[in-house]
Amino acid sequence: DIVMIQSPDSLAVSLGERATINCKSTQSVFYNTDNKNYLAWYQQKPGQPPKLLLYWASTRESGVPDRFSGSGSGTDFTLTISSLQAEDVAVYYCQQYYTTQWTFGQGTKLEI
């Protein structure tokens, strides 16, 4: 199985500042046939199911603010929140859907 490793485990950022979360996979999640990275980012707030933020590593889900962006390819990916808002406090997960068994990173807790 592909193991997804996020860093850091927790992060405190001031309002209006940039937050960066990294995700590394133990094997590439890039498919040459369609030129896509099979990686998604989710946001989860307490007591709620996860919410999709980004897919194909960098495509923003409809309705997600443009302060959220994703980058990277192959095995190394980054989620960036350009200007942190109070409502962004949550746990963030990366997930690969490249292999038959999908796997999540361990999560990064983002605080103000």
Partner 1 sequence: EVQLVESGGGLVKPGGSLRLSCAASGLTFSHAWMIWVRQAPGKGLEWVGRIKSDTDGGTTDYAAPVRGRFTISRDDSKNTLYLQMNSLKTEDTAVYYCHFTSHAPVFIDYWGQGALVTVSS
Tell me which residues touch partner 1 (CB under 8 A). 1, 40, 42, 44, 49-52, 55-56, 59, 61, 91, 93, 95, 97, 100-107
Pick 27 or 83: Cβ nearer partner 1: 27
Cβ 78 to partner 1 shortest distance, Å: 19
Cβ 44 to partner 1 shortest distance, Å: 7
Provide CB contacts within 8 A for 89, sequence distance 6+: 45, 110, 111, 112
Q: Which residues in 51-90 are b (16+ Cβ under 10 Å) and which e?
A: eebbbebbebeeebeeebbbebeebebbbebeebeeebeb
Pick 8 or 17: Cβ nearer partner 1: 8
Cβ 15 to partner 1 shortest distance, Å: 26
Pick 84 or 94: Cβ nearer partner 1: 94
C-alpha–C-alpha distance, residues 95 and 40, integer Å: 5
